[in-house]
């Protein structure tokens, strides 16, 4: 680990996280609340490999100490040694850094803990539940398993979130966009109503949930306890705290 990561860096080093220097090669605004930053990867992809939903921890300066946030890679290209990261623009050190980032700027990233195992056998339908923070991961799943029909819930917070790019194939993928209401309660209620009719045999289902921690936990408990979706057919990870 490089110096200056503080106690979080020490913990990640003990957990055998590997550090890489990322260099900004360009930026683009996806929506008014989402900025995509393109990076040269500093050898990260060649060393770590690539899998769907792959994420890294990126370190940002702020308030006299470094802060780390986890981000899913967008379009990782090992041959080119490049990928992008999409930043939700709100208050915080990561968003402030992304707003001002330009070619030649550098940050450090730690690879530790990211993994993915494709459902085996493949399900008759995937059920993917997320929000704007998990759009890169949703897209990686839709791209990696194009033969599997999917129902996608996308919870939105801004009108411009309707412009977030989902890599859907209309013949195979159904998207249900709904605004965030009741601190995620509307999403939870909608999923609880529709999920039983979508998954079919729980043993062959595949349910992937990554939104706020409370909604994610509630949906995962419903799928596991009330619908009997096996542990190996359910992925749930809270991406942020409300």
Rounded alpha-carbon distances, angstroms, from residue 127 to 6, 91, 202, 208, 230: 39, 31, 12, 6, 14
Name the token pair of 133. Answer: 């923070």
- Residue 201 φ/ψ, nearest 5 degrees: -65, 115
Q: Given this model, what pLDDT does residue 15 score?
A: 42
Pick from 97-111, 157-171, 179-193: least confident: 157-171
Q: Given this model, what pLDDT does residue 1 score?
A: 30
- Residue 51 φ/ψ, nearest 5 degrees: -150, 160
Name the token pair of 118. Answer: 């494709």
Give the global pTM: 0.88
173-179: strand order across its sheet: 173-179, 150-156, 126-131, 206-210, 234-236
Sign of CA dihedral 61, 156, 74, 83: negative
pLDDT at position 3 over 50: no
* Nearest in space to 230 (alpha carbons), one of 199, 192, 198: 199
With bands split at pLDDT 50, 70 and 90, how would you rate the model's confidence at 17?
low
Q: Given this model, what pLDDT does residue 11 score?
A: 40
Residues of the chain with CATH 3.40.50.80: 126-236
Residues of the chain with CATH 2.40.30.10: 6-111
Three-class secondary structure of residue 135 per DSSP = helix
pLDDT at position 13 over 50: no
Q: Which CATH number fits domain 6-111: 2.40.30.10, 3.40.50.620, 3.40.80.10, 3.30.950.10?
A: 2.40.30.10
* Residues in the chain, overall count: 242
82-88: strand order across its sheet: 65-72, 55-62, 106-111, 18-31, 34-40, 82-88, 74-77
How far apart (Å, rounded) are the C-alpha atoms in residues 73 and 63? 26
Pick from 33-37, 63-67, 100-104, 106-110: least confident: 63-67
Q: Given this model, what pLDDT does residue 56 score?
A: 96
* Nearest in space to 196 (alpha carbons), one of 229, 156, 170: 229
Residue partners of 186: CB distance under 8 A and separation at least 6? 178, 179, 180
For the domain 126-236, what is the CATH code? Answer: 3.40.50.80
The helix (run of H) or strand (run of E) holding residue 214 is helix 213-221
Classify each residue of 105-121 as buried b or exposed e, where b means 16 or more C-beta atoms within 10 Å of its C-beta. eebbbbbbebeeeebee
- Percent over 70 (pLDDT), the chain: 93
Q: For the chain, give the mean pLDDT.
A: 90
Q: Given this model, what pLDDT does residue 7 score?
A: 39
How far apart (Å, rounded) are the C-alpha atoms in residues 172 and 143? 12
Q: Any bridge partners for residue 234, and if so which?
A: 207
How far apart (Å, rounded) are the C-alpha atoms in residues 201 and 203? 5
pLDDT at position 64 over 80: no
With bands split at pLDDT 50, 70 and 90, how would you rate the model's confidence at 156?
very high
Pick from 15-19, 91-95, 152-156, 183-187: least confident: 15-19
Q: Given this model, what pLDDT does residue 189 score?
A: 97
């Amino acid at each position: 680990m490089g110096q200056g990561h503080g106690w979080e860096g020490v913990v990640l080093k003990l957990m055998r996280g590997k550090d890489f220097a990322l260099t900004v090669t360009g930026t683009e605004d996806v929506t008014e609340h989402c900025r995509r930053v393109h990076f040269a990867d500093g050898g990260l992809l060649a060393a770590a490999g690539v899998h769907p939903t792959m994420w890294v921890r990126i370190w940002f300066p702020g308030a006299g100490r470094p802060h780390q946030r986890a981000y899913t890679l967008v379009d990782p290209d090992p041959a080119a040694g490049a990928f992008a990261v999409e930043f939700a623009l709100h208050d915080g050190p990561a968003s402030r850094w992304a707003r001002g980032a330009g070619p030649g700027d550098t940050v450090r990233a730690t690879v530790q803990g990211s993994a993915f195992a494709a459902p085996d056998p493949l399900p008759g339908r995937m059920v993917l539940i997320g929000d704007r923070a998990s759009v890169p991961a949703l897209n990686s799943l839709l791209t990696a398993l194009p033969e599997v029909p999917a129902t996608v819930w996308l919870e939105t917070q801004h009108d411009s979130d309707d412009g977030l790019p989902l890599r859907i194939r209309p013949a195979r993928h159904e998207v249900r966009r709904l605004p965030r209401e009741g601190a995620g309660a509307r999403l939870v209620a909608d999923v609880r109503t529709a999920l039983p009719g979508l998954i079919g045999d729980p043993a062959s289902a595949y349910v992937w949930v990554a939104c706020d921690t409370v909604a994610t936990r509630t949906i995962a408990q419903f799928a596991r306890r009330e619908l009997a979706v096996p542990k190996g057919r359910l992925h749930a990870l809270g991406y942020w705290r409300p």
